[in-house]
Structure 1
Amino acid sequence: MGLNRIVIGLGLSLALAGCQTAAVVAEGKAPAVRPAYSFPVTTNTTPYTRCLQTLASYPGSHLPSFAVGEVSDKTGQMDTLTESTVLTQGLSEMVMSALWRSGKVRMVERYDLRIPLAELKMIEQGLTSRSANELQQSVPASDFVVLGALTELNYNIVSEGAGLWVGGIGAGGRTVIINVGLDLRLVNGRTFEVVHVSTLQKQVFGYEVEANVFRFFGSQLVEFDAGRIQNEPLQLGVRSVIEMAVYQIMTDYFRLPSEEHCQVRETNFFEETLTGKTKEMES
């Protein structure tokens, strides 16, 4: 009974405070509220951004024209709680940013043609001072087109942890590793031949420590949850594989110098499996 009175009293106090605030705002007497502001705006980089930026320092002015087409999320993964996709849908834009950072391409717009087509229509209707012939002569063709997709999102490659709870009081921690996979291809804009393919994956690490304290007051359950979750951002992993794929295009296909610390890490996880099967067939 005492607990119920406390809750009711607290609710009435909050309601009265809200009414008073609304009255002050209605009379125009409320001072401006300073919005909360925490961290400053920063650059959005990955460990491979510096590798791309290094390419810009190499000599060369005859730059190829690049167009970025659809680079989509084909993992099919959805978050059922928020009813949204798990992975970013801005993959084409990430590829464009990576190409720009390389400083070794000229980019032409092919992904969203609404503005160019609207401009052409306005020219045809005589609504601008530019002529259609002038526009046609000034639009460069694309030498190469980049296409692809995120093709993998695998959960719980490794999941391990420990916890101890006694009488509803305890603590626990766990680590989780997932991975994202990208398949990116480079298409010759003149012949439509696929001239280069990058197939990469990035493992993403998460670590969680938590402590849960439960207490019962009559028939009411009160839960106090304190913890810390520190995860490697999933979308950072996506941007990382995209920047590495673009770096591969610049170094493997266009033969720009490759820094040793920027090269993709080769894995041989399944070499023993293949070697073992070969030995079984020979025996």
Structure 2
Amino acid sequence: MKRKVLLLSLGLVVLSGCSSHPPIVPEVARSNEATLGAVTKTEKMLRELPPAKKPLTVSVYKFNDLTGQNKPGETPQYSRAVTQGGLAILKNALLDAGSHTWFRVLERGGLQDLLQERKIIRAMRSEYLGPDGKKLPPLSPLLYSGIILEGGIVAYESNVMTGGAGARYLGIGGSTQYSRDMVTVYLRLVSVNNGEVLLSVNASKTIYSTSTQGGVFYFVAYDELAEGETGFTMNEPPQLAVRQAIEMAVYALIMEGYKQKLWEFSDPVKGRQLYAQYVRKYHGERDSAENSRMAMNTTEEGHYSSDYPVSAVKPAAAEKAAMSDKFLNTKLRRKEDIAGGQLKTAYQSEHARSEATGPSEREPQFKTREQLGRGWYVQVLAVKSINAEEREIIEELIAHNLPVVIQKATVASVSYYRILVGAFASRSLAEKVRYEIALLATKKGNVFGRRVYSIAKI
């Protein structure tokens, strides 16, 4: 009897101790206060865009869910798989572009409500006078736009990828599972003047869901069993994925319109840099063309050179004469003075120097690819490190008033430096400078004279 009383007392103590502690629930799963919407990476990209040279007035009538998909589940669901508020998200993304400096968004989704309210105001103003006893002024006319944004959420693919892993030993183990869905949106720009579709872009976003579980099922004795389990599930909100896809589509629309010269950035330099980053990250146009054109191969000296044949920089005498005539026609004047066996060449062409990436200085400019200005470059050398011999080459180029830029780059996890001359406004100018560098190199007996000079557009 005493033993039962003791066990009952101990049980009450344990239960009372449990009641004084919070429930075993992760902090993230508990109810929190209302907050403002999360700032996504794509929203930040939009907000950080430089202002447009001239804001665009656009009308947006609808941006509907065109997937026709219901929410996936083991049982039939009548809820839609994606948000039905695509129009509100699109308008918000347009206003975020450049922090409200790119688009003047006109209300067209609730046009009937707007017209009805204006009708009520006109009726009241016609019946009543103002505080001064005079007739109230009429309403301002509605704004109209020359372009319309159309599109919608066109696809929602569930369980594009599923998988998991688990293990159990002597009744103790755990498992994890994951699945991936995908949502796709399309956005197009339509001219009101003639109905032409000026631009069309699309963007996709994956939606991840993960589940992790662990447990124990173990007989501590033949008649005593220990059992326990825990787990959690994390589901990425589909609404957040739709929002990021729409924001990415707006960003792509701005960049593609800039490419087709439909609009411009107020800061041309920053605009060119952002467009170059956009192309490299989302189009990958530079890899296939540039890597084949500027693939680096190790030479016996431990340097790198382009895959261009050496004969490409040694034209015949007739070609040299023809190229010299072209130099005169383009006002690219070359002054030669052979003194002490040194060739001195001075370039005095505004065309060749106006697009240079940096000021005319005695020191070269070290830049990453993102920092390089747009234009044509002549690659003189690519090396793993800049030593005395490379510095001699750089000094020789600078001595002839060439705009030298040193790019830090990485190919196949190998870091190296590219000695470039440029940028130039056209390929023809870059070709002429490349030829002049080749002539200069023939006067040298060091590694400078054995380089192969390629041309690339950045």
- TM-score tier, shorter chain, comes to 0.5 to 0.7
In 1: Cα distance, 2:236 partner to 2:276 partner: 25
Moved more, 193-202 or 167-176: 167-176
Q: 1:122 to 1:171 in 2, by over 3 A?
A: same
Q: CA deviation at 1:54?
A: 1.7
In the alignment of these two chains, the number of paired residues is 223
In structure 2, the partner of 1:100 is 95
In 2: Cα distance, 1:213 partner to 1:150 partner: 45
In 2: Cα distance, 1:75 partner to 1:111 partner: 20
State whether structure 2 residue 159 is matched by structure 1 residue 156. yes
Q: Which amino acid aligns with 1:240?
A: Q
Q: Which amino acid aligns with 1:99?
A: L
In 2: Cα distance, 1:204 partner to 1:260 partner: 28
In structure 2, the partner of 1:199 is 202
In structure 1, the partner of 2:59 is 67
TM-score by length of 2: 0.43
User: Which of 45, 65, 70 is residue 39 of structure 2 equivalent to?
Assistant: 45
User: What does the per-residue CA deviation read over 1:32-86, in whole Å, with 9 as the maximum and x for residues that have no partner?
Assistant: xxxx96245134322111211122x4363x3221111211111111125552111
Q: What does 1:197-276 correspond to in 2, within 5 Å?
A: 197-211=200-214, 226-253=230-257, 254-256=263-265, 257=271, 258=274, 265-266=282-283
SS of the aligned residue for 2:232 comes to strand
Q: 1:58 to 1:227 in 2, by over 3 A?
A: same
In structure 2, the partner of 1:12 is none
In 1: Cα distance, 2:284 partner to 2:61 partner: 29
**Given that residues 124 and 132 in structure 1 are in contact (C-alpha distance below 8 angstroms), is that contact kept between their aligned partners in structure 2?**
no
TM-score by length of 1: 0.67
Greater radius of gyration (CA): 2
Moved more, 247-256 or 146-155: 247-256
RMSD: 3.3
User: Which of 146, 156, 164 is residue 149 of structure 2 equivalent to?
Assistant: 146
- For structure 2, the residue ranges without an aligned partner over 5 or more in a row are 1-29, 219-226, 258-262, 266-270, 286-458
- Sequence identity percentage: 26
**Given that residues 160 and 176 in structure 1 are in contact (C-alpha distance below 8 angstroms), is that contact kept between their aligned partners in structure 2?**
yes
Q: Which amino acid aligns with 1:152?
A: A
**Given that residues 149 and 189 in structure 2 are in contact (C-alpha distance below 8 angstroms), is that contact kept between their aligned partners in structure 1?**
yes
In 1: Cα distance, 2:34 partner to 2:122 partner: 46
In 2: Cα distance, 1:150 partner to 1:37 partner: 31
In structure 1, the partner of 2:110 is 112
User: Which of 51, 56, 60 is residue 58 of structure 1 equivalent to?
Assistant: 51
**Given that residues 123 and 132 in structure 1 are in contact (C-alpha distance below 8 angstroms), is that contact kept between their aligned partners in structure 2?**
no
Q: 1:119 to 1:42 in 2, by over 3 A?
A: closer
In structure 2, the partner of 1:83 is 78
- For structure 1, the residue ranges without an aligned partner over 5 or more in a row are 1-35, 216-222, 269-283
**Given that residues 51 and 262 in structure 1 are in contact (C-alpha distance below 8 angstroms), is that contact kept between their aligned partners in structure 2?**
no
In 2: Cα distance, 1:144 partner to 1:138 partner: 18
SS of the aligned residue for 2:41 comes to coil
**Given that residues 65 and 106 in structure 1 are in contact (C-alpha distance below 8 angstroms), is that contact kept between their aligned partners in structure 2?**
yes
Q: 1:41 to 1:259 in 2, by over 3 A?
A: farther
**Given that residues 67 and 146 in structure 1 are in contact (C-alpha distance below 8 angstroms), is that contact kept between their aligned partners in structure 2?**
yes
Q: Considering Cα pairs closer than 8 Å and 6+ residues apart, tell me whether 1 or 2 has the greater RCO.
A: 1
**Given that residues 94 and 242 in structure 1 are in contact (C-alpha distance below 8 angstroms), is that contact kept between their aligned partners in structure 2?**
yes
Q: What does 1:28-43 correspond to in 2, within 5 Å?
A: 38-39=32-33, 41-43=35-37
